[in-house]
A and B are shown apart, each in its own frame.
Chain A
């Protein structure tokens, strides 16, 4: 049965009708949680993730603190109802690894030295998983960090590329991820042109890899525009007042 799934049709279109270089629709909302110092919701196709930031705050236990910088902690976690078969809420080995790579994708962008002896907590909760959750998690987390007012050199954007049915494509959905040959998640700092997360499983030729990396980075640049627009929408006060004035007239 698995072998028969056709991921690219005769017109070269993918299972959800996209072209090889087409992203799923991306929507980002900023400041969606009251308690968190910063938060963001990302909906990318059917993937839906909430990210929240707490801190800089006192770190407990205290011996974990660093004298010259803040400690960044990150927890990637999936809701039990986010996948086909119920996932146990206890953290899996996969979630532990993803927590680490997401943290390391964000770390180079954050000016941790501004807050010695404190910690910054980033929580990424996957509410609906349809492929590309670590990348969308990075995208949402960096928006939540900006919303929290944490100083950063750049935002960080995540986007994966991969190979399905022999074709190099961008932003894999769950079926493509499961039945495709290769997945290459990438996180990118768009103004610096730097890569801060890179993983791959599967075999690609040199040319294919280059193509995949380019596609992923292009994807990152497009998603960056969504991040930027979402943040500005939230904080453009003249816009906000105009909207409120419109609302009161209605």
Chain B
């Protein structure tokens, strides 16, 4: 039995600690929990990865299918992001179609991947106007213990880095798979960093207890060169202009840390495969 109600005394305790620059699990305000990134965790997917931030556990599988392009972009492939908050992950998740939190999460991750130009959609075109690759990025939340947004965005990027597309030849009307595969060409590495505001302090990577206390949060997605490619403010509180600028700077710095970790994890995985 877990209670959904934030316990009043625990709330006071968290706030008291924060005012002294401390957190309930002993971390500094701007430190992530221990992060692990694993690649190729679902054998039937064309690319997959799982990410753990402490007890938070997210898996992403990428499926490549051949489909028809959108009429307004006949020469481009399609990238689709979907998130499932399966009830196995939290006592608060219910079975059923994605709720607004799941939809928001999928759309923010989608925006980061798209505007961060992770893949050149033109490279996903097979026959203009007819056949293109459709990349389904399915985010699967397995254990919800806070900060799903950053974990899901990181896992999605990791899964795309691990994605291999079947090589195809066009012969007349037909598309023939040669049986060979080639890795997806990754152009940029946008990283999401969510800043939570609690009682005037900024924290990253909130625990569930902290998340329940946040006035509001700002998800900042930054590219490899340090540009901002997507933003999302959520929850009911407000930021000052100064808050926002401060948050952006933290996000660039933290984003770089996460990106370096992603690269070193991927390198380790690649060399273990070789």
Binding site for B on A (CB under 8 A): 33-37, 39, 46, 48, 50-52, 54, 57, 75, 77, 79-86, 89-91, 121, 123, 125, 127-130
In the complex, besides A52-B88, A77-B86, A127-B41, 17 extra interface pairs with C-beta distance below 8 angstroms are: A33-B89, A35-B2, A35-B55, A75-B87, A77-B95, A80-B84, A80-B136, A81-B45, A81-B61, A82-B61, A83-B44, A84-B44, A85-B65, A89-B84, A90-B97, A121-B87, A125-B86
Q: Which of B59, B82, B144, B145 contacts A89 (CB 8 A)?
A: B82
CA distance A83 to B136 in the complex (A): 13
With a cutoff of 8 Å between Cβ atoms, the chain B residues found around residue A83 in the complex are: 44
Interchain residue pairs with CB less than 8 A apart (20): A33-B57, A33-B89, A33-B142, A35-B90, A35-B145, A39-B88, A48-B43, A57-B1, A79-B84, A79-B138, A79-B140, A81-B45, A81-B140, A85-B63, A86-B65, A86-B136, A123-B88, A125-B88, A127-B42, A128-B42
For the A-B complex, the count of residue pairs with Cβ-Cβ distances under 8 Å equals 93
- Contact of A81 with B1 at beta-carbon distance under 8 Å, contacts A35-B144, A75-B87 already known: no
CB-CB nearest in chain A for B138: A80
Q: How does the 8 Å CB contact mask read for B1-34 relative to A, with 1 for contact and 0 for none?
A: 1100000000000000000000000000000000
Residue from A33, A75, A81, A82 with most neighbouring chain B CB atoms (10 Å): A81
CB-CB nearest in chain A for B95: A75
- B199 within 8 Å of A by Cβ? no
Chain B: how many interface residues by the 8 Å CB criterion?
32
User: Once the chains bind, are B48 and A81 in contact (CB under 8 Å)?
Assistant: yes
CB-CB nearest in chain B for A33: B143
CA distance A32 to B43 in the complex (A): 20
User: Once the chains bind, are A35 and B63 in contact (CB under 8 Å)?
Assistant: no
CA distance A7 to B172 in the complex (A): 34
User: Once the chains bind, are A34 and B42 in contact (CB under 8 Å)?
Assistant: no
Sort A-B residue pairs by CB-CB distance and give the 5 closest, nearest first: A81-B61, A81-B45, A123-B88, A34-B55, A86-B63
With a cutoff of 8 Å between Cβ atoms, the chain A residues found around residue B142 in the complex are: 33, 50, 125
- B62 within 8 Å of A by Cβ? yes
With a cutoff of 8 Å between Cβ atoms, the chain A residues found around residue B144 in the complex are: 35
CB-CB nearest in chain A for B159: A81
Least Cβ distance of B157 to chain A in Å?
Answer: 16
CB-CB nearest in chain A for B46: A81
CA distance A135 to B90 in the complex (A): 24
CA distance A40 to B145 in the complex (A): 18
- B200 within 8 Å of A by Cβ? no
Least Cβ distance of B235 to chain A in Å?
Answer: 21
A-side binding surface: helix, strand, loop or mixed? loop
User: Once the chains bind, are A81 and B87 in contact (CB under 8 Å)?
Assistant: no
CA distance A80 to B106 in the complex (A): 15
With a cutoff of 8 Å between Cβ atoms, the chain B residues found around residue A128 in the complex are: 42-44
Least Cβ distance of A20 to chain B in Å?
Answer: 25
With a cutoff of 8 Å between Cβ atoms, the chain A residues found around residue B136 in the complex are: 80-81, 86
With a cutoff of 8 Å between Cβ atoms, the chain B residues found around residue A37 in the complex are: 1
- B91 within 8 Å of A by Cβ? yes
Least Cβ distance of A201 to chain B in Å?
Answer: 23
With a cutoff of 8 Å between Cβ atoms, the chain A residues found around residue B95 in the complex are: 75, 77, 91
CB-CB nearest in chain B for A90: B97
With a cutoff of 8 Å between Cβ atoms, the chain A residues found around residue B143 in the complex are: 33-36
With a cutoff of 8 Å between Cβ atoms, the chain A residues found around residue B42 in the complex are: 48, 79, 81-82, 127-128
CB-CB nearest in chain B for A81: B61
With a cutoff of 8 Å between Cβ atoms, the chain A residues found around residue B84 in the complex are: 79-80, 89
User: Once the chains bind, are A34 and B138 in contact (CB under 8 Å)?
Assistant: no
User: Once the chains bind, are B82 and A80 in contact (CB under 8 Å)?
Assistant: yes
CB-CB nearest in chain A for B86: A125
Least Cβ distance of A192 to chain B in Å?
Answer: 28
User: Once the chains bind, are A82 and B88 in contact (CB under 8 Å)?
Assistant: no
With a cutoff of 8 Å between Cβ atoms, the chain B residues found around residue A48 in the complex are: 42-43
CA distance A139 to B61 in the complex (A): 24
With a cutoff of 8 Å between Cβ atoms, the chain A residues found around residue B57 in the complex are: 33
CA distance A73 to B55 in the complex (A): 26
- Contact of A81 with B63 at beta-carbon distance under 8 Å, contacts A33-B142, A89-B82 already known: yes
With a cutoff of 8 Å between Cβ atoms, the chain B residues found around residue A81 in the complex are: 42, 44-45, 48, 61-63, 136, 138, 140
CA distance A79 to B140 in the complex (A): 8
Q: How does the 8 Å CB contact mask read for B72-114 relative to A, with 1 for contact and 0 for none?
A: 0000000000101011111100010100000000000000000
Would you list which residues of chain B between 237 and 267 have a CB under 8 Å from chain A?
Answer: none
User: Once the chains bind, are A34 and B145 in contact (CB under 8 Å)?
Assistant: yes
CA distance A39 to B59 in the complex (A): 17
User: Once the chains bind, are A86 and B138 in contact (CB under 8 Å)?
Assistant: yes
